[in-house]
Amino acid sequence: MNPLLSKLQPYPFERLRQLFAGVTPNAHYSPISLGIGEPKHATPEFIKSALVNSLEGLAGYPATAGEPRLREAMAQWVERRYGLKVDPATQVLPVNGSREALFAFAQTVIDPRWPTPAVVCPNPFYQIYEGAALLAGAEPYFAPSDPARNFAVDWDSVPADIWSRTQLIFVCSPGNPTGAVMPLDEWKKLFELSDRYGFIIASDECYSEIYFRDEPPLGGLEAAKKLGRDDFKNLVAFTSLSKRSNVPGLRSGFVAGDAAIIKQFLLYRTYHGSAMSPIVQTASIAAWNDETHVVENRVLYRKKFAQVTPILAGVLEVALPDASFYLWARVPDALGLSDTAFAKELLAQYNVTVLPGSYLARDVAGVNPGAQRIRMALVADAAECVEAALRIVNFVQSKSK
């Protein structure tokens, strides 16, 4: 067996199952889960129709590069969304969801011949970053996010000796779990570091279309264009239909950016056997070509967050994020509960599931930046999310007494 598998840590939801083992939720309450970031809004009917009406595509093998009309649809979306052009033939590549692509990307770009290659990740973070780094033979290095700066990642805390052996950096903007969006000056800093040390930037942007203010989140390719980096050197952006179009089961997204890196990634994927199904390609073209359903989806989230956030803010330290569908709340110190104890007792007493923040981060120098926080995914309908928020208020008030 691959000895690197032994370095993998349990996934957050496996740890949650272990935490809840033996817990009997209060039967007086119906179960409500805010734990998993799985979209629950209805999948648009036109996407379902496109999928069903293209079943003849099952009769042929798909190309790993995808159909030209799919890459055209993706490139056109990038132009509409970010105001920039990418070459659909060389700078765009379909993937089977951002999770699969993020993992495979690390296997493509990491050179294990280095003595100790490093991969820099935000902390808290999406655990695929860590697993992808470890299985590529690299050492993950975790850069903490700063609550005092809207959870901006403290890139300055990464020492020069780490940067000197860094081959890949994962950026998540809008962030999971914090919802923070990286501003242009932060991108400028990363590009300068990339030029100096030669590492590649993987920009995870799967939450880019769920935002709460008039200005849409800045994307990595957009930031590069604004800074005169038209060739997107050492930069690849990852996006997905899962959150944007409520199709997590479709497993469809794409990467775009540096043509030289995309070429090598395509080579890897050809051998990896990760071509997108023709019927998924057809449904994806329909989804990328339509913005009406995206706007409607965003309205649902905005209304939901506008209802829920003020309720929770009365008892928890929590605020409307820049984007994404998570609330990243701090457990009051006065309760005398850790984030794990909070989640466990909340389930037992009120049958509401939240995810402990410490499960989404790693200890660095004795500090876990996710500790004493909980992540709440407001993915269910508004009424259920409001009901969950009211139960959390009752729970906190009862513990305060």
Q: What is the pTM of this model?
A: 0.96
What is the predicted pLDDT for the residue at 110? 98
Q: Which domains does the chain have, with CATH numbers?
A: 3-42+293-400 (3.90.1150.10), 59-290 (3.40.640.10)
Positions in the chain short of pLDDT 70: none
Contact between residue 359 and residue 4 where contact means Cβ atoms under 8 Å apart = no
Query: 332 and 279 in contact (C-beta within 8 Å)?
Result: no
Determine the Cα–Cα distance for residues 359 and 373; give it in Å rounded to an integer: 10
Which residues make Cβ contacts (< 8 Å) with residue 8, sequence separation at least 6?
A: 131, 134, 135
pLDDT at 401: 75
CA 39 from chain center: how many Å? 13
Residues 270 and 50 sit within 8 Å (Cβ to Cβ): no
Q: CA neighbours within 13 Å on the CB side: how many for 313?
A: 10
- Number of H helices and E strands in the chain, helices first, is 14, 13
Residue 379, pLDDT score: 97
CA distance 206 to 240: 5
84 exposed, middle or buried (CB, 10 Å; 0-12, 13-18, 19+)? middle
Confidence at residue 18, expressed as pLDDT on a 0 to 100 scale: 97
DSSP secondary structure code for residue 331 in this structure? P
